[in-house]
Structure 1
Amino acid sequence: MINELGHFALVLAFVLSVLTGTLPLFALRRGWHGLAHLAVPATMLIAAFVFIAFAALISAFLASDFSLALVASHSHSAKPLIYKISGTWGNHEGSLLLWIVILALFGALLAMGGRGMAWALKIRTLAVQALISAGFLAFSLFTSNPFARLDPPPVDGRGLNPILQDPGLALHPPTLYLGYVGLSMAFAFAVAGLIEGRIDRDWARHMRPWVTAAWCALTIGIALGSWWAYYELGWGGWWFWDPVENASLMPWLAATALLHSTIVVEQRGTLKSWTVLLAILAFSLSLVGTFIVRSGLLTSVHSFASDPARGVFILGILMVAVGIPLLLFAVRGPQLVSRGDFNIISREGALILNNFLLTSATVVVLVGTFYPLGLEMVTGARITVGPPYFDATFNPIMGVLVAAMGIGPLLAWRRGTVPGTRRIITISGVITVVLGVAIAMATTAFASGISIAGIAGIGLLIWLGSAIIADITYRLKPAKAGVAARAARLPAPMIGMWTAHFGMVVFLAGAIGNGLFATEVVVRAMPGDVIDIAGRQMTLRTVEARQGPNYITETAVIELREDGRMLAVLTPEKRFYTAERQTTTEAAIRPRISGDDYAVLGDGTAETGYTLRLYRKPLVSWIWAGAGIMAIGGAVAGIARARRRPLSTRAARPADNAYDTGSTAENDDDAAQKAGV
């Protein structure tokens, strides 16, 4: 009965989505305001029906209701509770329903919120969002029904894919989907603005919280996926340029560009056409990721399905979602007049450079992901595009971007640099040169085989960190009220920007430290053997059988010592899941701020020895810490800006000093500069 209720709720949500996506737009065109306003309660009803359907599916997994084909295929009665819950979205049908749940949730949040938003823009945005929901609900109902029945039901299920039975995978998909669906809100705002023919600063102010939320969620989601791959897959890496990894990176790059271009629209009323186009393309790239994961077009450990029919359906959604808005953009885009009264050397110019570099990086990743597929279709030849391609193309672009990140915040809106810029750049440059030379000498860079690119990466890391510190120091220089009072008056968006940029510094420190100084040893060891790695000793004591909740293991006991002092006992495992009849590898990791000690157990016996892969990975945990700090910074800036009054209603007031604005606050543009955006 509960399953039928869930299925019926999905049908009702689909019907309501179609009506909500069409009737309010027609009503606004005819001036029937009463009918148009029904979009708000209808959106709430859609959310309620979708939540009922998702709750019914979770209930079926918790009850191990194997009469549902989805539960029978992806669950087992002996599976731990947390994996019964996460198993709901650890498959194609369930993850698609989770996507729809988040679509409905975001639509409901806009319906309940949107304080100060023009009601016509709100209605149109809700209508576009409802049409997106209708497309995915149709996909779920017609090709991927999560409530399909089995008759007769099996005695027990086949279980969840063992590599998905992990706490990280309970969090990674929902967080990533929050980012993807957040971009759907930006898309809905863009299309609604084009329909209305009005893209202005108020439009950007209401759209930017959704873009910020999407960017933060994508940052955390990608970081969680990278962290999961690092400790679960047992290959010791954190990024492999896998096609599905690339598919999540492209929307993140586009969202980063969109976030910065929205700033320009909100503060200066320029880059309108480009921002609308970015909003369309960013969501389109998230649909590309969905297409890759579910079509079987590209092979990846992340793929949910390999059904070409489903791929065709998603491709249809993608073509409609891209084609119609781009056609609308071609008609309305030329009418979007933007201001161009700014110097190239200004905050606007820096943000345009930011967008150019991020867009270029997105194109590089797109080509690297799909070129092998296109080549195979045309010539039949199969090639792999991996790290060498991205090292030669993607990394230089991002290097220029990091260099620009140290200068962009020092520029004023419209008219060049602010006082103190030259001093900050000089100080940062001197620090970069001095520390760079010192580090190169201390590590005997050339003698140890560190490349020029590695040295350049270290230099960029020092440059960005010193620029942030110099900027903060200059802004906090003692005034009459003292440093503490000056710090208290700093705008929260500025603090958020510093935090996000500092997160990039931490991320780079982790990526560069791990990339340049990691150590790997692969050996065939017998119990009692001692292996030296990075000045430490790992002793294989024994390999023993153990029993888990729903698996049995071969567990190695490895003692880690340094100068005879016991540091830890590592227990890497090979797990055999009896229900799924699959074997997985579980790495043993000793995480520390200075770096991780990492051990993986391979094949072998007590007679022939065991294969061990041992790693020392300096600063690797800083990669995920940096991503977390970036997300926190984005959230701080986003929340602070969401609480601000519209720029058009704020009276201009004199600046604290010329450094904040570049001059006195003559108008809203100058007042905006005080906010550090």
Structure 2
Amino acid sequence: MIVETGHYALVLALALALVNSVAPICGSVSGDRRLMAIAPSVALMGFAFTAYAFFALTYAHVTSDFSLANVVENSHSAKPMIYKISGVWGNHEGSMLLWVLVLSLFAAAVALFSGSMPEDLRANVLGVQSWIAAAFLLFILLTSNPFARLAEAPMEGADLNPLLQDPGLAIHPPLLYLGYVGLSITYSFAAAALISGRIDSVFARFVRPWTLVAWICLTLGIAMGSYWAYYTLGWGGFWFWDPVENASLMPWLAATALLHCTLVMEKRDALKIWTIFLAILAFSLSLLGTFLVRSGVLTSVHAFASDPRRGIFILAILVVFIGGSLVLFALRAGGLKQGGLFAPISREGALVLNNLLLTTCCATVFVGTLYPLALEALTGEKISVGAPFFNLTFGPLFVPLFLLMPIGQCLAWKRGDLAGAAQRVFVAIAAGLAAMLALAAWRGGPVASVVLSGIAVYVIIGSFADVWRRLFGGGASFAAAGQRALGLPRQAFGAAFAHAGIGVTLLGLAATGWGAEKIIAMKPGETVSVGGYDVTLDRVTPRAGPNYSEMVAATTIRSGGNVVARIEPATRFYPARRMSRSEAGISTIGFGQVYMSIGEMTGNGAVNTRIFWKPLVALIWIGALLMAFGGGLSLSDRSFRIGVARRAGKARAGSPQLAE
């Protein structure tokens, strides 16, 4: 009965989305406050019904209700409870339901935290968000119903894909969806601003926290997915430039550009057209990624669906929302008033250059991902665009971006002093050069690793140059600096930590050039030296799991004769799916890692092993955590709460910024 009510809840959510997609916008156009006032309550009700539907599907998975096709195809009674729950979104139908749940969650959040927002803007935002929700609810109900019943229920299910039976499934997809589905709200703000004609600094102030929330979640989601691939696939890589990995990277690049652009629009009332365009672009790239994963046009470990009907439906959604928003953008953009002017050498100028580099990177990923698909569709020719292309094109674009970040933070608004900004980051420049020289003398190795490591040190130290100047400027004592720190906006600290996190990640990436790898067949008792560590295979023993059997290689790691760690890489076999997967053994030593995976046993009792030493590799994900921490610190700044209400009150008294 719960399953049927869950299905009915989706139908009711669709009905509410249709109502909310029309009534509030009509109220905004006609000036009817009663129609505009229904938007928040309907958005909350829509979220409640969608959440109930998601609960109903989760209940079916937890109780192993094999009368439901979705449960039969993706679950098993012996599966651990954590994978029964996370398996809800480990398939096409369930993941799309999670997609809509996140969509309605952001609408409900706007409804709850929009008391200071102008009524017409709020009504239009929730109305546009309801358009998106209605489209995807129709998609679920017509092509991807997660509540479809079977005429005869089997005794047992087919189990979940073994690659997805991992704690990463419980963390990575929800975070990723909160990120790139969360960008729907920035799209809704942009469309609402175009409809209502409210494109000004108040719009930028309202949209920036939502962009920041989505960016934080997307950063963590991509990082978690990278680490999941690293330890689960067994090949020791953390990024493969897979088309679906690129589908999440493109919105991240666009969202990063948008985040910086809204700051310029808020501070200087400039870059209005570009800000609106980026808000549309970021979510459009999310829709494109959804199309790639759900349409069957590519093959990937991430891809769920291969039904062309679903792809055509999503393609239609993509055309309607991207095309419709761009038409509205074209009609309205010409009427925008000119914003604040600024010199090329200024913080605004640095942020514009930042935007150009980020969007060029985004375009590079876009072309590299879609060109092979387009070529195959048009000519039938198959080509592969892999890591060499992306690495060669990304390097020349990202190096200037890294060099610009600390200097741009030290430039003044409107008109800056480039020489003065360079002086403020002199210590960072000196530290970066010293790091290059020290690493070249000590480690040698790839030139790229030495240079990128020096740039990373420069970025990390330089990220705090502006904060240091504001705290200790004028020869202030530590006591005085402490008093200044209390009055310094948390956004300043947040930006410093986020930029430093990028430098930390870059340092981890650069250090991969000094790694070591050995592929060898090892017998129990045999020792191999990798990266200064002795790795001994002690024994290989079978072990039974809840829904799998595994061969475990107990391994000891020594340094200088002393035991520093013990790991247990394994290969697991899942009988229900008749599939195997590897489980890497990883030991973190300092910021480096000894990584070992095993394969098949050979005829003479040896086991095929792959052993890596990866210096500083943990910094890749520590840097992502620092970025997210910096974003959270900025989000906690009181200006997001007090400034919005104050500026919204001024906006109500003034006239719209879009010329009629």
- TM-score normalized by the length of structure 1: 0.93
Moved more, 290-299 or 457-466: 457-466
CA contact under 8 A between 2:202 and 2:648: conserved in structure 1?
Answer: no
Q: Does 1:500 align with 2:495?
A: no
Deviation at 1:105, TM superposition (A): 1.1
Could you tell me how far 1:267 is from its partner in structure 2?
A: 0.8
Is 2:463 aligned against 1:468? yes
Match of 1:162 in 2: 162
8 Å contact kept, 1:93–1:140: yes
The verdict on how the C-alpha distance between 1:336 and 1:647 changes in structure 2, with shifts beyond 3 A counting, is farther
Q: For the residues of structure 1 that align with 2:89 and 2:116, how far apart are their CA atoms?
A: 36
Kept after mapping to 2: 8 A contact 1:595/1:616: yes
Instruction: Spell out the pairing of 1:503-518 with structure 2 (5 A cutoff).
Output: 503-513=501-511, 515-518=512-515
1:547 aligns with 2:529: no
- 1:598 paired with 2:598, answer no
The CA distance in 1 between the partners of 2:284 and 2:40, in whole Å, is: 26
In structure 2, the CA distance between the partners of 1:647 and 1:136, relative to structure 1 (3 Å rule), is closer
Q: Deviations over 1:550-603 (max 9, x none)?
A: 111111122212222122222111101122221111000112333111110111
Whole-Å Cα distance in 2 between the matches of residues 233 and 87 of structure 1? Answer: 18
**Deviation string, structure 1 residues 124-160 (Cα, Å, up to 9, x no partner):** 1000001100011001000000000101111111111
Overall identity of the aligned pairs, in %: 48
SS in 2 for 1:315: helix
Name the SS for the 1:147 alignment partner. coil
Task: Return the match for 1:487 from 477, 485, 488.
Answer: 485
Q: Distance in 2 between matches of 1:643 and 1:253?
A: 26
**Uncovered stretches (5+) of structure 2, i.e. residues with no partner:** 650-660
Flag the 1:207–1:604 CA change in 2: closer, same or farther, 3 A: same
Residue 237 of structure 2 aligns to a residue whose secondary structure is coil
Q: Tell me, in whole angstroms, the C-alpha distance in 2 between the residues paired with 1:456 and 1:331.
A: 47
Q: For the residues of structure 2 that align with 1:428 and 1:341, how far apart are their CA atoms?
A: 31
CA distance in 1, matches of 2:328, 2:440: 54
Aligned mates of 2:575, 2:308 — CA distance in 1? 31
Partner Cα separation in structure 2 for residue 337 and residue 648 of structure 1: 23
1:287-325 superposed Cα distances (whole Å, 9 cap, x missing partner): 111111111111111111111111111111111110001
Amino acid across the alignment from 2:257: A
CA distance in 2, matches of 1:340, 1:209: 22
Match of 1:589 in 2: 586
**How far apart are the structure 2 equivalents of 1:43 and 1:102?**
13
2:119 alignment counterpart: 119
Deviation for aligned residue 1:423: 2.3
Alignment check: 8 A CA contact 1:479 1:486 kept: no
Let me know the Cα RMSD of the aligned residues: 1.7
Contact 1:347–1:408 (CA under 8 A) maintained in structure 2: yes
Amino acid at match of 2:569: P
Q: Is the 8 A contact 2:439 2:450 kept in 1?
A: no
Letter paired with 1:499 = F
Give the whole-Å Cα distance in 2 for the aligned partners of 1:634 and 1:114: 21
Deviation at 1:55, TM superposition (A): 0.9
2:207 aligned partner? 207
Contact 1:70 1:147 in 2 (8 A): yes
Q: Decide which moves more: 304-313 or 28-37.
A: 28-37
Contact 1:250 1:365 in 2 (8 A): yes
> Is the 8 Å Cα contact of residues 270 and 341 (structure 2) preserved in structure 1?
no
Q: Does 2:74 correspond to 1:74?
A: yes
Matching residue of 2:624: 627
Shift of 1:649: 5.3
**CA deviation string 1:637-669 (max 9, x = no partner):** 122141342496599xxxxxxxxxxxxxxxxxx
- Asked if the contact 1:507/1:626 (under 8 Å) is kept, the reply is yes
2:4 is the alignment partner of 1:9: no
SS in 2 for 1:645: helix
- Look up the match of 2:652: none
Determine the C-alpha separation between the residues in 2 that align with 1:518 and 1:595.
9
Count of aligned pairs between the two proteins: 645
Unaligned 5+ runs, structure 1 = 652-677
Could you tell me how far 1:381 is from its partner in structure 2?
2.2
Match of 2:556 among 537, 559, 579: 559
- Report 1:94-173 matches (<5 A): 94-173=94-173
SS in 1 for 2:510: helix
Residue 457, structure 1, aligned to residue 452, structure 2: yes
Q: Residue 540 of structure 1 aligns to a residue in which SS?
A: strand
1:454 is aligned with what amino acid? S
Residues 305-344 of structure 1 correspond to what in structure 2 (within 5 A)?
Answer: 305-344=305-344
1:389-400 matched pairs, under 5 angstroms: 389-400=389-400
Distance in 1, Cα, partners of 2:387 & 2:170: 29
- Mapping of residues 166-205 of structure 1, within 5 Å: 166-205=166-205
1:197 deviates by: 1.6
Quote the offset at 1:608 in angstroms: 4.9
Question: Using the alignment, how far apart are the partners of 1:124 and 1:262 within structure 2?
Answer: 20
Taking the aligned partners of 2:487 and 2:32, their CA distance within structure 1 comes to 48
Q: 1:491 to 1:339 in 2, by over 3 A?
A: same
2:283 corresponds in structure 1 to 283
- Indicate the larger mover: 352-361 or 38-47: 38-47
CA contact (8 A) 2:523 2:607 kept: yes
The match for 2:607 is: 610
Asked whether the equivalents of residues 492 and 637 of structure 1 are also in contact (C-alpha less than 8 Å), the reply is: yes
**Pair 1:268–1:648, CA change in 2 (3 A):** farther
Counterpart of 1:535 in structure 2 is 532
Q: CA deviation at 1:385?
A: 1.1
Following TM superposition, by how much is the alpha carbon of 1:33 offset from its aligned partner in structure 2, in angstroms? 2.2
Structure 2 CA distance for aligned equivalents of residues 549 and 561 of structure 1:
32
Shift of 1:483: 2.4
Q: C-alpha deviations, 1:228-261, integer Å up to 9, x for none?
A: 0011111101111111100000000000000000
What amino acid maps onto 1:607 in structure 2?
A: N
Q: Is this contact kept in 2: 1:354–1:401, CA < 8 A? A: yes
Deviation, structure 1 residue 420: 5.1
Contact 1:497 1:633 in 2 (8 A): yes
Report if aligned partners of 1:593, 1:622 keep a CA contact under 8 Å in 2. no
The question of whether the paired residues in 2 share the 8 Å contact of 1:114 and 1:206 is answered with no
SS state at 2:235 partner: coil
- The equivalent of 2:518 in structure 1 is 521
User: CA–CA distance in 2 between the matches of 1:120 and 1:650?
Assistant: 12
Alpha-carbon separation, structure 1, partners of 2:528 and 2:28: 74
- 1:656 counterpart residue number: none
> 1:482 & 1:279 partners in 2: Cα distance?
41
SS in 2 for 1:226: helix
In the alignment, what sits opposite 1:660? none
